[in-house]
Structures are given as structure tokens and as C-alpha cells.
A and B are shown apart, each in its own frame.
Chain A
């Protein structure tokens, strides 16, 4: 009898799970969140151009595991990036580091903007000086006035 009751009780167990709160997939959501933030700035090395955060490749899984372990070990963001750069070079970073050979990359946009604005300013000044005001002859002015007046009357 007891066995029967026990079995009957067990059969209700699945329903006890109904409406339960789903657990986070990650063992530790805080670590996971930080890992994803870091991984979004890192390249998946075996993919065609995907971030470490979104790639399904096996190496990407392994590298994400490494990053999680580094986070748990208390490493700073910079230390984690350095860890990966030591093994894979600057290529692994989507945010190009500021080094001698990336100087042009980082400064370039602002240089180009300044050059453009400078050229614009120069051209505007020059135009101001050289372009003559369009002059209508007296005859043409009278005709224009007549037409415009007609216009308004209509």
C-alpha cells in the first residue's frame, strides 16, 4: 500500500515543476555577463568574421571557458586581453590597440575631418573673394520686375 502511494505521489512530481523559474544557463550569471562583454570585443579565430561571444565553434567554446576562468581568478579586463594577445597576437582584438602601427588608424578619421573642414573654409573664403555677383542688365531687371509683378497679381 505504501509503495503504491509513494509511486502515485512520484507521478505528480513533473507537475510540481510547472511554473518553476528557469535557471540561468551559466553557472554564474555575473561572470557570464562580464565574459560576454569581453568576448564581444574578441575575434573568433576560426570563423570568417564573428565575435567570440556569438560563435559556435569549438575553439570559441574553449576560449570562452578560458576567459571565464580568468575572470574567476580575479583578473582585470586588461590582463585577460593581454593573456589572449600573448597567444594570438593583436588579431584577436576587435578594438585595435593604440600602438605605433595603429596610430594612423585612430588619428586618421579626425585628421581627415580637419582636412575637410579646412578645405571647406579655404574654398568659402576664396569664393567670397573671386566669384562676382551676377549682374542683370537694367533692361533685364525691368523685365524681371514686370514678370514678378505679374506673378503676384495672378
Chain B
């Protein structure tokens, strides 16, 4: 009778493989260790006004999106219209981080395609990106009124993840004190 443990154990294992397979888990995405933690502090020059600096503390009291992008990035182009729509409808302010980019290229691109950002921070060497655990562009963080990161979208913003994850979360966070 004890021998039946073996096939049963195998079936349990197969069940686990099934769960792993169908849960749509992407073996490539790196989950962020920042969820639920304060956004890492920084004070960096702004893209359009290099003399001025920006820090996450400046956004205290507001729910905001922190979008990491670059003018050389294809997918950033694809998500751009959605970000524009968000800013035009004043849904939630978006702060951009221009990652490993030349200021001139970034400014030209925004001038041509439209600027959905409240402001942009320049990160020419990518150090700030690393501080935020960047693995590629684009990436978007949802940050609450207390400066705590509540969600990270790895990859571009799409109508689906806006509708299912980002916008509901933003609405919920707006309700919070």
C-alpha cells in the first residue's frame, strides 16, 4: 500500500507543474523589491530646466506615475499615446526619467511626439535607473501620496494593464488619506 505514495507524489508534482505553466508567469520579469517601500530618494537635474532639481519628496501628497523611458526605445514610442491621453485627461501626473539618453534627442522627441510629462529627470549614465531596479525601458511605477511605491509595470503601458491594474490602483490610492 505504501508504494502508492510514489505515483500520488508524482501527480502532486505534475499538478504543481500545471499551475506553474498556466499561471502565465513570465520567467523573465524581475519582480520589484520596492513594492510597499518608499521610493528611493534622489535629487536630479530636470531635462528641460537643468538648473532645477527634482526629488520624489516634491510629489508628497499626490499620487503619481514615474515612467522610465528613452528616445531610442521602440516600445516607449508604442506606449506614448496612452501616456499622452492620461496627461490630457489629467488623470494622474506623470514624471519621466530619461534613461541613458542625450538631452538633445530627448527634447527633440518630446517636441515632435508630444510631452505627457509634468517634468523629466535626466539620467544619462543610468545610475538612477539602477537605483530603481531597472531592467529595461519602458517601466512605470505607481507611487502613492506618502511616496511609497505601490506597483511596478515592467514593460510598456497597454490598454489592458491600464484598465486592469494601473487606473484602479490610482483611483484607490486617491481615496486614501
A and B touch in the complex (CB under 8 A): yes
Chain B, residues 129-146, CB within 8 Å of chain A (1/0): the string is: 011111110000000000
User: Using Cβ atoms and an 8 Å threshold, which residues of chain B touch A85?
Assistant: 33
Q: Does B126 contact A (CB under 8 A)?
A: yes
Q: Does A62 contact B (CB under 8 A)?
A: yes
Instruction: Rank and list the top 7 A-B pairs by shortest CB-CB distance, nearest first.
Output: A89-B33, A87-B133, A45-B135, A62-B126, A88-B133, A45-B30, A91-B30
With A62-B127, A87-B131 given, can you name 15 additional A-B contacts, CB distance below 8 Å?
A45-B135, A46-B135, A58-B100, A59-B135, A59-B136, A66-B127, A87-B130, A87-B132, A88-B30, A88-B33, A88-B133, A89-B31, A89-B33, A91-B30, A92-B30
Chain B, residues 18-44, CB within 8 Å of chain A (1/0): the string is: 000000000000111100000000000
Say what secondary structure dominates the interface of chain A. Answer: helix
User: Would you give 11 A-B contacts (Cβ < 8 Å), ordered by A?
Assistant: A45-B30, A46-B135, A59-B126, A59-B135, A66-B127, A66-B130, A86-B33, A87-B33, A87-B133, A88-B30, A88-B133
A positions within 8 Å CB-CB of B? 45-46, 58-59, 62-63, 66, 85-89, 91-92
How far is A66 from B130 in the complex, measured between Cα atoms in Å?
A: 9
B positions within 8 Å CB-CB of A? 30-33, 100, 125-127, 130-136
Tell me how many residue pairs across A and B have CB atoms closer than 8 Å. Answer: 35
Q: In the complex, which residue of chain A has the Cβ closest to the Cβ of B136? A: A46
Q: Are B31 and A91 in contact (CB under 8 A)?
A: yes
Q: In the complex, which residue of chain B has the Cβ closest to the Cβ of A43? A: B30
User: Using Cβ atoms and an 8 Å threshold, which residues of chain A touch B125?
Assistant: 62
Say what secondary structure dominates the interface of chain B. Answer: loop
Q: Are B130 and A62 in contact (CB under 8 A)?
A: yes
Distance in angstroms from A75 CB to nearest chain B CB is 15
How far is A66 from B127 in the complex, measured between Cα atoms in Å?
A: 8
How far is A86 from B149 in the complex, measured between Cα atoms in Å?
A: 14
Q: In the complex, which residue of chain B has the Cβ closest to the Cβ of A88? A: B133
Q: Are B130 and A89 in contact (CB under 8 A)?
A: no
Distance in angstroms from A3 CB to nearest chain B CB is 43
Distance in angstroms from A71 CB to nearest chain B CB is 16
User: Using Cβ atoms and an 8 Å threshold, which residues of chain B touch A46?
Assistant: 135-136
Choose among B33, B125, B127, B135 the residue with the greatest number of A CB atoms under 10 Å from its CB: B33
Q: Are B30 and A89 in contact (CB under 8 A)?
A: yes
How far is A63 from B30 in the complex, measured between Cα atoms in Å?
A: 15
User: Using Cβ atoms and an 8 Å threshold, which residues of chain A touch B100?
Assistant: 58
How far is A116 from B33 in the complex, measured between Cα atoms in Å?
A: 38
Distance in angstroms from B76 CB to nearest chain A CB is 16
